[in-house]
Structure 1
Amino acid sequence: MTIALHPPLPSHPVLRLRLAPRGGLPRFIDGAWWPRSYDLLAELPILLAGLPREWGDVAGVTVNGATWSAGPGRMFVAGQVVRLRRNSAASAPHTAVLLAPGRGRWDLLVVPPDTTPQAAEPLMAAAAGIPADG
């Protein structure tokens, strides 16, 4: 009898996030996020836990209402209340806007969860302002 041993799965999914370098001119997109699903209640805590500390406490998140699963207008994440907003802007169907009072606003490209790694990587690199060959 052969027993195949598999390494244990991580207790928390790895955050797939690529951020543009700080500094320089303001950007239209501040990076890219590649969630594993369109379940905002499951994905948002993972995203917020992985953001840079200097971004502060994100108090509001706006996503495309037609893309993400329905949910409450607020959720409790990491000891804070985060207000969830849904928009229907055709100009930004694949973005998430994060607001941190007194700190700023960050717009992230949302790479669709079913995107292959080969297709997602160039999208994430471009959103972060990383050259295609770097």
Structure 2
Amino acid sequence: MNAPTGQRASPDRTRPSARLTLRPPTFPPGPVSGAWWPRSDDLPAELPALIKAFDTSRGRVTRVTAHRDTWPQTPCDLPVAGHTVKAAWLTSGFDPHAIRLFSYGVGRWDLLVVPPGTDAATAARLMTAAADPGLHRTASGLLEDEDNNPSASAT
């Protein structure tokens, strides 16, 4: 499921849209609000597309929180179109497979981060599960379920 150690998927700057699925906004929130599948682990390059999707549909994102060990670059300020997003980097007490987005006055969203090197079929299953209002799994729990799913490896 993950890219081989030492190899990173490279950012694709020709594709500006975010690969994103979200739970319905009116449904009570679960441990995750959906999933994001970045094309690389270069957060400064990947974040603008994600923020753009949220800015237009859910409210202007002002802050993000993520696990420090998930991203090789951990800047405090992430410039995106029209504004700067502040970042907080945690090393404990935060799911390493999630990213949290905050929109001032609107709310917060915890998203499963599908690893960039994940094959398309696996990513599709993970993104569907993360957006399913009936499932109440954490980001790490969803990845663990996928790793333990014998039928997943047959596809």
TM-score bin (small chain): 0.7 to 0.9
Identify if the C-alpha distance between structure 1 residues 46 and 33 changes in structure 2 by more than 3 Å, giving closer, same or farther.
same
Which residue, 73, 76, 85 being the options, matches 2:76? 73
TM-score (structure 1 length as normaliser): 0.82
Matched, 1:34 2:9: no
Identify if the C-alpha distance between structure 1 residues 26 and 130 changes in structure 2 by more than 3 Å, giving closer, same or farther.
closer
Which residue of 2 is the match for residue 112 of structure 1? Answer: 115
| CA offset digits 1:57-87 (Å, max 9, x no partner) | 1110111110102242112211112101111
RMSD (Å), alpha carbons? 2.1
Determine what percentage of the aligned residue pairs are the same residue: 42
Which residue of 1 is the match for residue 106 of structure 2? Answer: 103
**How many aligned residue pairs are there?**
123
Runs of at least 4 residues off by over 4 Å:
none
Distance 1:130 1:114 in 2: 26
Which residue of 2 is the match for residue 87 of structure 1? Answer: 90
Matched, 1:23 2:26: yes
| CA offset digits 1:85-124 (Å, max 9, x no partner) | 1112365010000001111000000000011011111110
SS of the equivalent of 1:15 reads: coil
Larger Rg: 1
SS of the equivalent of 2:100 reads: strand
Question: What letter matches 1:107 in structure 2?
Answer: D
Give how far 1:11 is off.
3.7
Question: What letter matches 2:63 in structure 1?
Answer: G
Distance 1:129 1:52 in 2: 22
Which residue of 1 is the match for residue 127 of structure 2? Answer: 124
Distance 1:128 1:54 in 2: 16
Runs of 5+ in structure 2 lacking a partner?
1-11, 135-155
SS of the equivalent of 2:129 reads: helix
Which residue of 2 is the match for residue 51 of structure 1? Answer: 54
Give how far 1:49 is off.
1.1
| CA offset digits 1:14-69 (Å, max 9, x no partner) | 42101111212222110000001111100000111122634211110111110102
Identify if the C-alpha distance between structure 1 residues 25 and 71 changes in structure 2 by more than 3 Å, giving closer, same or farther.
closer
Runs of 5+ in structure 1 lacking a partner?
1-8
